[in-house]
Each structure stands twice: as structure tokens, then as C-alpha cells.
Amino acid sequence: MKSHYRAIVIGGGVVGTSVLYHLAKFGWTDVCLIERSVLTAGSSWHAAGGFHALNADPNIASLQAYTIDLLSEIEQESGQSVGMHMTGGMTLAGTPDRWEWLQSAYRTFQSIGIDDCRLITPEEAGDLCPIMSTDGILGGMWADREGYVDTTGTVHAYAGAAKKRGAEVIEHNRVLELVQTKDGWDVVTEKGTIHTEHVVNAAGLWAKQVGRMAGVELPVSPLNHHYLISDTIPELEQLDFEVPMTVDLEGFTYMRQDQKGLLLGIYEIDHEHWMMDGAPWEYGFELQQEDTDRIERELTLGFERYPALQEVGVKTWVNGAFTFAPDGNPLVGPVRGKPGYWCACGVMAGFLQGGGVGKSLAEWMIHGEPEADVFGMDVARFGPYAENKQYIRETTGQFYTRRFVMTYPNEQLPAGRPLKKAPAYSDMTAAGCRWGVSYGLEIPLYFAPSAAFVETPTLKRSNAFDIVAAECKAVRTAVGLLDISGFSRFEVSGDGAEAWLNTIMASTLPKPGRARLAPMLSEQGRLKGDLTVFNWGDGTWWIMGSYYLREWHKRWFEDHSGADVAVTDLSDATVGFSLSGPNSLRVLEKLTDGAIADLPFMGCGVFDIGMLRVKVGRLSVSGELGYEIHCAATEHITLRDTLLAAGADCDMREVGFSALLSLRLEKSFGIWSTEFTQGYSAAQTGMDRWIDWDKGDFIGRDAAQNEHNSGGPGQVVVTLEVDALDADASGYEPVWNGDKRVGFVTSGGYGHTVGKSLALAMVDRNAASEGTALSVHIVGMERPAKVIASSPYDPTGQAMRGR
């Protein structure tokens, strides 16, 4: 053990050894892993070791595919067998909705290039797994590259391959303390203190404690998980092949062969948390006593699906803990305010996702950002609200219980809610508001006309379709009132504010009293934000963006802090409402003097609205004449009451974000997480039209300029008109030109004003011309589509700009 390393990884499970291996592979050989016991002690040794392609987040599914490819590489490189059994795998559906969902998921995999999947019939499923009952099965999805590995062998293969590249593994050496220094961290261990520039928390069941050593409260909790291994099954002895990995979605079980018996794992409805503050330090190779009463229902379903289990005994019970984040995805990346401290924890499917986590984190540490868009597992997707123990208990338990339960795009899950509410929440609820959630904050979706109305979860058009249509009509023909508390607002001030903004934003900055759309780029030229910058004319500026990106953006701002500049998060202290529609100015003119009529498009200023002094910006995502009105949180209720009273004779209607999403599709306006992500460049998304190439240097300039000068990207975002039936595209559906896949949908829905099903899609440049005939799979059904001109509603922008 040396006194100094460039990076230290804490935790000797599959994730920690993968991070170590990738750091060494990508060029950092002065790295070590510290394990309090021996490799695999914790969750890795008792994991079932299965790997499969299915994940609700396509970006994470791609990283899972990377992990599967990597396993044979580390086996060869290390000389340590990983015990790979590439049996293939099936995911089974037993209800019409589930079968519909599985057909849709199959097309999603095609969109991201996973081509080793196919849909299968119940009869095919029975042939592939002869010991399985096919009763109640409607269909399934087969994937060639599914199976399982020897968990201990895999961990040692990662570690062995890392050591061959120069990395060091230190066992039997518990970390006692982490001390932040001006140039890194002192890692205090049982064998002495080591200094490092970077420390990685890959501590698994002990991630909570290792986080607290650095003053970080991570939203993770262990939950117990059962599986059993049966005695030898005579029917398996007679087969000359290994039965495939099988997930029975209706039975909450997964199955794989184990020698000549079966391993049956259960995601039980009646979940059980374990040691929420972290495992005892002496824990390692112990298990909890099996609790068959708690898992009786799922166990019965499993024994019915695999009748041979009823004829043999159980050789081994495993009831061990794995660590989960609130949404079930890993917590990866740098922690804001803790330079050099990195997370690689909450990876509940370590043998499936560990390779992708290790690759992404190593790229992040060495190159400044990962190759893939990993926001779905970025630790910054959660904020301080998620540190609450009850919130963690509810949300991790909900995920665990729903591990094999499908979630519909329009379904709102209850755990951890309501947590944060805008001040007018109760009044809006009384007016019929139905709520979604963003970063812990309740946001309005639509206003139901009846208290008895309940939206039905579906993959197709919901029973709220007509409600949203009416809200869209109100915005287009009169005026809609939308709560905009669910946007982030950062105030930028100080003598260096303008210089800092010029460096961090790629656009021209707005003049005093004006606002401007501003792309923000990474050093590699990829998007870091689609933001709006306001220049209030008094030396202060605002940056507005997506509320759920607050922590993510704060980390970026702090990592690129400038001299003599202060960035203050106003997002919870400042809230507001927007008015959109041809009558919006008429409403405001009743409440303030005539000066507001002179506010130009993309202008901003301070105005008296009724009794309130507020900040107003004239802009609109709906494509109509619109005003965003920002007030103190204490004024939110009064502002709503004031606007509703003034709009009573202007056909004002309260609207939600479901309507806004439809309206913005009719304008071909992209939004973050669909058209705009950190996986795309500005040129791919059309955001390069806002880049000021003449303003001097800014972050990402060289990379963006190189792309601009080299003929542009191979794929671009276009607008599609889809010949849909009773369902609209929502995202990641494949786009076809004949039998060639040329792209995928980024987002879609119904344009209620134009009366057409619309989608925005990332397609190959040679398929992007207006009029090109294409097709799109929607809920598994192929539908004709064509490329149309941007902004099918009001293409000249007269409604938004004119009066």
C-alpha cells in the first residue's frame, strides 16, 4: 500500500472492481481498491448473477448490452473464468395490457440497436423451456444474449484484469474516515492514511456510511431479496440443453437453471427494508432467515409456473440484501460541493449494469463526461428532498414491489407524494387539478371537470384526451393560465456576471430588458442545457430551465464558477403563472398600466400586476402570445386569484402541462430529456441556430465549430405527421424507411389544434427531407408517417410575435 494514489475505489464488489478495471483500462494505472473484508463480501457473493437486455431507460439498456459484451473480454484478459452461461432469455406476458407493452418494448429495443430480440408465441416459449407451464401466457420476448454468470468469478475477473493493467487491490482494510483536503482526500484506513485526488464510493451495502464520511446523505436503502435453489429435477437431467433465463411478469418471478435444479427469484409485493442506515461493518457473508410466509403468494405462482418444483425439495434459500435508489437506477457521478468525490452505488443489478457503470464513471473522471447520456443514473437527478428517510423508505419500497409491474406513460405513482407543493396547490386541487411530480414538486397536468374523474393508465390515448383538447383550445382561442412553479430560476449577479455568462452560454447574451434562448454546451460540444437567459437591466440576470435539472445544473455552474460572480438558486422562493393565448394581453391590461402593452416579444421587466410587483417576461412555449409572471412564493395564491378574476370575461381556463406538451409539438419545439439531452450536439437538435460564432470563446466552441465545419451531424431532429389510430408515439419508437431503420421518435402526441398525430424524431439526414415517406411503430403496430415542415401550427410565428 502506497501513501498516494490518483484514485481510490472503496468497495470490492462487482461495481467497485469494474470501476477499478475501467480506470486502469482508460489510462489511470495509479489507482487502488480498498475492501474492508475480501472481494465479493456484501451483496456480490449471493447475487443470482443473471443478465438480460430489458430496461425501461434505453440509455441504461445500452449500457447493459455493453456489460454483456464485456464479460467475455475480462475473462480472457484476466484468465479467470466468469462462468458464463449464455442460455438466452424470455420475458413472458400474461395479460393483454402486458403483452401490448412487451410488443412496444420490443420496438424500443430495435430503436437503440439491440437486434437480438424477437417476439415469441406461448407455444415457442413452451418449446424453449419444456419444464414450464404455459397456462395463461399470451406471448413473450426472446433475447439471445441473456443468461447468468458465476458472481464470485466475475468479480475476481474484473479485479484480475485491473491488476494486470497496474491497479492495486487491498483487502482486509476498512476505511475509517474521509478527510477533504485542498487537493483531494485523505482516506484514513485501518492500515494507515492514504492521500488521493479522487475517491469513489462503491461501498454497496455500506454506501450510506461512506457517504456520511464525506458529509453526503445518499438516497439509498438495502432491501431483502429472496431466491431459492431446488434439488435436482429429473426433467432437467433428461434435457441436452440448459433452459433459458425466464422472467414471468405476472408471477413476479425470475428463473434460471442451477446445475440440474432451478433458481427461482422473487420480487415480492410485501417488501422488507433492512438496515436503512447501512449494514454493520462486520457483516459480509451472512444472510437473513428466509420468510416463506411473506412471499407465499409469489412462491405459489412460481411453483405453478414451474410444476417440477412441486416434486423436489429446496436445496438452498437465499434472503440477502441489495441496495436500491428511489427509482431503482444506480447513483453515479460526482457529488456537487465535494470535488473529487464520486458515487458508484445503488446498483441493484450489479452483474448486469456494473460494466456500464464502471465504463461511464471512468470516462467521466478521466475525460470530463461519459460517452453515453447517463442522466438516468446520475446522482444529481435527486436533490436534498430525497435524503429524507421516510421518502427513501416509500420510494425504494415502491420500486422493489413494482419491479415486474408495468408502469404506463400516463400513470402517476404515489410513493413519496405529495412532498413539495406550490402555495396555490390546495386552491388548484379544489378547482380539479390532477398532479404529476418533478424533482419532488407537484406540477399540474390538467384540470378535470368532475371530482369523480379518474384517469385510466394506458399505452394508448387516455380518457383525459378530451380534457386536454379543451385546454389546448382555450389557449389557442382565448387564454390559458398555467402554474409555472415547476421551472428552475437561478439569479446571476456580481461584477463578473456578464463575462461568466458569456463563457458558459453559447449564445449572444440579451440586452437589458430582454430575454434570449441560450444553449449551454459541454467541452465536447454536447448539450448541457436549453435555457432562457433574462437580463433585468439592473445588473442581475436570470437563467431559467427545467426544475428537475436543478441539482445537475448547479453542479455544472459550480464546476465552472467564475470570478466575481454569484449564482443563487431561486427556484423554491420564486414561483409564478403564465398566460398564453390571444386574450392574455387583454387580461394584463386590466391589472397594470399601459406600459405592458409595449413589452416586445422576448422582452422582460418589472410590473405592478394588481397589488403585486412582479417580474414579467413576454415569451411562450405554446406558440401563442404569452407572458410569464414571476412572484414571491408568498404571493402565489394572490397572483392566481388576481389573474382568474381579471380573466373571468376573457374565457380564461386553467391548464396543465399535458396541454402544453401538445401545443409545443404543434410548434416543433423540443424539450429537455426528449429532443435535447447531453447525448446530442446542438447541430443535431437545431439548437446551433442560437450559437453566436462571433462572440469569442465559450465552453464547447471548438467541438461545435468542428461539427459545423465538417458538414454537420449524420442525424437531425424532424417533425413527423403520423397516420395513427388510437395511440400516439411517446418516445423511442423506431422510424423506418422501408425495411431500414433510419431513426427513432424523441417525443410525440396529438396536436389538438391541427387535428393530427405528431412526433419529433431523430433520423438519418438522408431521410430528413420534407415529404419523405416513413413509418413508425406505435404500441407495436407499424403506422405510416411522413416528414413535414417544422411548426405545423402557425409556421410564421405571427401568433406568438404579433398582437
How many whole angstroms separate alpha carbon 145 and alpha carbon 226? 25
Residue 64 reports pLDDT greater than 90: no
Report pLDDT for 63: 83
Q: What are phi and psi of 787, to 5 degrees?
A: -75, 130
Reported confidence tier of residue 113, pLDDT bands at 50, 70, 90: confident
DSSP one-letter code for 754:
T
Q: Fold for domain 4-367? A: FAD/NAD(P)-binding domain (3.50.50)
- Per-residue model confidence (pLDDT) at position 56: 63
Q: How far is the C-alpha of 776 from the C-alpha of 748, rounded, in Å?
A: 11
Whether the ω angle into residue 418 lies within 30 degrees of 0, i.e. cis, is yes
Q: Which of 100-109, 237-246, 273-282 has the lowest mean pLDDT?
A: 100-109
Q: Which amino acid is at 537?
A: G
The three three-digit cell numbers of residue 389, written as one number: 428517510
Q: Of the candidates 652, 721, 710, 658, which has an alpha carbon nearest to the alpha carbon of residue 683? A: 710
Q: Which three cell numbers stand for residue 291?
A: 420468510
Q: What distance lies between CA 747 and its chain's CA centroid?
A: 15
CA angle 792, 795, 801 (to 5 degrees): 135
Buried b (16+ CB within 10 A) or exposed e, 365-377: beeebbebbbbbb
Give me the percent of the chain exceeding a pLDDT of 70: 99
User: Which helix (H) or strand (E) is 774 found in, with range?
Assistant: strand 773-778
Stretch 634-650: mean pLDDT: 98
* Nearest C-alpha neighbor of 584 from the set 618, 537, 633: 618
Beta-bridge mates of residue 634 = none
Give the residue among 274, 264, 198, 275 at the shortest CA–CA distance from 233: 264
Read off the pLDDT band of 54 (50, 70, 90).
Answer: low
- What is the rounded CA–CA span in Å between residue 438 and residue 443? 7
Residue 245 near residue 87, CB atoms below 8 Å:
yes
User: What does the pLDDT average to over 516-542?
Assistant: 97
Q: Is the pLDDT of residue 802 over 90?
A: no
- Is pLDDT at 179 greater than 70 in this prediction? yes
Average pLDDT of the residues in 527-546: 97
Does pLDDT of 803 surpass 90?
no
First to last CA, the chain: 73
Tell me, what DSSP letter sits at residue 342? Answer: E
Average pLDDT over residues 724-747: 96
What cell does 65 get? 448490452
The residue behind cell 439471445 is 144
pTM as predicted? 0.96
pLDDT digits (tens, 9 = 90+) for 325-345: 999 999 999 999 999 999 999
CA separation, residue 84 to residues 155, 238, 354, 628, 720 (Å): 13, 22, 15, 57, 43
Q: Residue written as cell 408515439?
A: 729
- Residue 16 corresponds to which amino acid? G
The x, y and z cell numbers of residue 388, run together, are 429524507
| Nearest C-alpha neighbor of 187 from the set 33, 335, 42, 362 | 33
